[in-house]
Amino acid sequence: MTPPHIPVLLDEVLEALAPQRGDVIVDATFGAGGYTRALLGAGATVHAFDRDPDAIALGAAWPETREDPPRLVLHPRRFSEMVAALAEAGVARVDGVVMDIGVSSMQLDQPGRGFAFSADGPLDMTMSRAGPTAADFLNDAAEADIADVLWRYGEERQSRRVARAIVAARPLSTTGELAQVVRKALGYRPGAPKDPATRSFQAIRIHVNGELDELEAGLSAAERVLRPGGRLAVVSFHSLEDRIVKHFLREASGATARASRHMPDVPSSAAPVFEKVARAVRPSDAEILRNPRARSATLRAAIRTAVPAREAA
């Protein structure tokens, strides 16, 4: 049976994590378990996090959860909570943390989850299947607030026009209705290389799930749980996420932002909590051909030093 999700940059992530038999590794975004399966295959024990109950239910059927002791421990929680969750499980430090940021293919491919407009479904978009939905936000929020979300998280240049169209069309209840409103507002021509609704769907999803705040908190948590020599690998899929990861690693490695992109990073006086920050890795043409959803992926990785975690982390 073909797995519902093809893990992006799998070989490169494994190279960055260098899993060894007996290692304890956090898969912060379990999803359909692509990275976890490979890590278990390398002999590691995996603590897997996911706020999506469907993902946790999928993992609960894996035989590694029933080993004694279990080599797969599932945490139905946000990955920003990994410090407390691992402590409750009796784990103080781990050898690696991997994050695959954003919505999973498994979620995108289920119309009932409301993440995509390829098939009509309820306007939900909640990763945890709980809390305010995309429909709640779009039908209740002020026009200015909707425009702000579209601009901030979708980088939609015509955010005000789209927000005005959304408010005029309320109430909205399905992904198809929302996509149609956005396309009409932006003058979409069928056959165009990119559907203009993509940016708005991304923005609303990020807002509903608080994804960027969660990413910042998750990176901070990873800094706290990684042992000296532990490895961090983060795969992101758009510029907003990658910017946060890049900035985090730049600061954590003791470098400050360069005055110009033509100048090198300037060393900081603070002792680095991460070192050996790898250059950004992107998928090969062959991987993109096998898995078109990998096209926008970026992997950033680094190794934890023995310096205590920062107070802000």
The candidate with the shortest Cα–Cα distance to 101, out of 226, 224, 245, is: 245
The whole-model pTM stands at 0.90
CA distance 49 to 68: 20
Say yes or no: domain 111-209 is CATH 1.10.150.170: yes
Give the model's confidence band at 2: pLDDT under 50 very low, under 70 low, under 90 confident, else very high.
very low
Average pLDDT, the chain: 91
Average pLDDT over residues 79-95: 97
The candidate with the shortest Cα–Cα distance to 179, out of 204, 206, 143, is: 204
Write out pLDDT tens, residues 158-170.
Answer: 999 999 999 999 9
State the fold for domain 10-106+211-304: Rossmann fold (3.40.50)
Position 255 pLDDT exceeds 80: no
Write out pLDDT tens, residues 33-79.
Answer: 999 999 999 999 999 999 999 999 999 999 999 999 999 999 999 99
The candidate with the shortest Cα–Cα distance to 164, out of 184, 144, 139, 149, is: 144
**Identical topology for domains 10-106+211-304 and 111-209:** no
CA distance 206 to 94: 28
- DSSP letters along 179-216, please? HHHHHHHHT--TT-SS-THHHHHHHHHHHHHTHHHHHH
Q: Which residues contact 294 (CB under 8 A, 6 or more apart)?
A: 6, 8, 9, 283, 287, 288
Sequence letter at residue 92? A
**Poorest-pLDDT segment among 131-140, 248-257, 288-297:** 248-257
Segments making up each domain of the chain, as ranges:
10-106+211-304, 111-209
